[in-house]
Amino acid sequence: MGRSGDLPRTSGITGGDDTGCDILHVDMDAFFASVEIRKRPELAGRPVVVGGGHRGVVAAASYEARRYGVRSAMPMGQALRLCPQLVVLPPDRAAYTDASAKVFAIFADVTPLVEPLSLDEAFLDVSGARKLFGTPTEMAQNIRTRVHAELQLRCSVGVAPNKFLAKLASAACKPDGLRVVPVESTLDFLHPLPVAALWGVGRKTGETLHRMGIRTVGELARTPTDAIQRAVGVAMGVRLSELAWGHDVRLVDSDREEKSISAEQTYDLDLTTRAQVVHALADLADELGRRLAARGFGGRTIGVKVRFADFAMATRVRAVPHWVSDPRTLLTVASELYDELGLDQPRIRLLGIRTESLRQMDSVARQLDFDGMLSDSQARAPDPLAPVLELARSRFGKTAILRGSAVRPGADRASTVGGNAGETKS
């Protein structure tokens, strides 16, 4: 990775005829770590990761850290063994959200057809922008230059005929690169890659394919689709066969709807009593309810997730009669679902609550929600504390004020890992 004074690389550009290559995949380089280094320039050139906590993992690693083998999602202990001088920084989600918004504003100057994949990644359909901004390669380089000049961050861009190839192209030129995959050379680019490069091939599917003697995308392409399907399932089999030939008909979708919203937490110390669990669920229900309300959503399916000390997992979901967003209903249902698991002497490292079947809630729907879900005494009373809690939390962090019900007299509150990215640095 270049020093921050350098311009984006031009030597890293692998060009070619970009006719018909209307899809860009832009991927920020070591995004969280780069935002942290921008805040603290003295860390430039040192191995830096964002993450941590007692039971934490690496959320992002600078390229200096990656030289030691440190990777995203790696347990922090392992990362420190690989690189004892590693600089470990707690996440600052507000800073990443802010930087992300500025990056996406640059994308929006090029085309309205932007599909975010995460805070630091997006597909752009630039087919309608040629008259204004030139070739896709020129647009890609323009984005890279602006991201660097205006935000002091770097990104890599893949330019290709479809989303899947564009994503592989950006991965192939990281960091600080630009790569075009010309239409006529897609198979030359694709077929030598390992099958694990394909979207949807992770550890398990990779092992399954290896057992079939398939190691490269080219070998996968030459295997009959029905054989692939028998091994990995019908839908996945079709998709992999298509991808192996470079076919991907998915359009850039700039307004995808959210399908679920969840809140979960891993605890420093395993929870062992029902009282601990209920208080933890109350915190999660508050958090989830706040996020549902912020987006105006209600969910008609509510689920709990439990991960045990041995990493085994159990889930329970229930469809409820009305769309729900208030924390008390979420807690009521979540507690019932937890009880249905019938656990005896559990050791619980993680709890989560999830809502799906989401719908925008107007006031009528909310009223139905209240009337339908709870006993009268619970249901009719509006929650006079809600606006105050929301305000205080938004200003001082989510632990600034807790409901009385979330504080157990005479007992320690369940301590949590790391914290929620910048919200808990009280």
Q: Are 155 and 29 in contact (CB under 8 A)?
A: yes
Q: Specify the residue, 11 or 415, whose C-beta has the smaller distance to DNA.
A: 415
Q: Which residue has the tokens 């962090």?
A: 397
Asked if 399 is part of the footprint of DNA (rule: CB under 7 A), the reply reads no
| Least distance in angstroms from the C-beta of 103 to DNA | 13
* Residue 416 touches DNA, criterion: CB under 7 A: yes
| Single residue of 4, 14, 78, 399 touching DNA by CB under 7 A | 78
Active site residues: 121
Tokens (6 digits) for 47:
């191995």
State which of residues 72, 145, 225, 424 lies at the interface with DNA (CB under 7 A). 72
Work out which of 103, 161, 352, 414 binds DNA, going by CB under 7 A: 352
Q: Minimal distance in Å, beta carbon 287 to DNA?
A: 7
Positions in 100-119 near DNA (CB under 7 A): 117-118
Least distance from DNA to the Cβ atom of residue 270, Å: 10
If one asks whether residue 260 binds DNA (CB under 7 A), the answer comes out as yes
Site residues for DNA, 194-213, by CB under 7 A, read: 198-206
On whether the CB atoms of residues 154 and 179 are closer than 8 A, the answer is: no
Whose CA is closest to 101, among 48, 33, 153?
153
Among 21, 76, 243, 252, binds DNA (CB under 7 A): 76
56 lies in the site for DNA, by CB under 7 A: yes
Burial code (b: 16+ CB inside 10 Å, e: under 16) for 107-134 equals: beebbebbbeeebbbbbbbbeebeeeee
Give φ, ψ of 18 to 5 degrees: -100, 20
Window 261-280: residues binding DNA (CB under 7 A):
261-266
Per rule CB under 7 A, is residue 247 in the interface with DNA? no
Distance separating alpha carbons of residues 296 and 284, to the nearest angstrom: 18
CA distance 309 to 177: 42
- Using the rule CB under 7 A, which residue among 43, 44, 82, 88 binds DNA? 88
Report the C-alpha gap between 337 and 316 in whole angstroms.
6
Q: Segment near DNA (CB under 7 A), from 69-77, 361-369, 372-380, 403-411?
A: 69-77
- Which amino acid belongs to residue 20? G
In the numeric block, the tokens 């992300």 are attached to 100
CB of 417 to DNA, least distance (A): 5
Half-sphere CA count of 289, side-chain side, radius 13 A: 24
For DNA, the closer of residues 317 and 392 by Cβ is 317
Binding of residue 242 to DNA (CB under 7 A): no
Cα 145–chain centre separation: 26
Distance CA 279, CA 405 (A): 7
Least distance between DNA and beta carbon 137 (Å)? 22
DSSP state of 41: G
Q: What phi and psi, each to the nearest 5 degrees, are found at residue 48?
A: -125, 135
How many residues sit close enough to DNA to count as binding (CB under 7 A)?
Answer: 64
The binding site for DNA (CB under 7 A) comprises: 52-57, 59, 72-73, 75-78, 80, 88, 117-118, 120-121, 167, 198-206, 233-236, 258-266, 287, 291, 301, 303, 311, 313-319, 340, 349-350, 352, 356-357, 416-418, 420
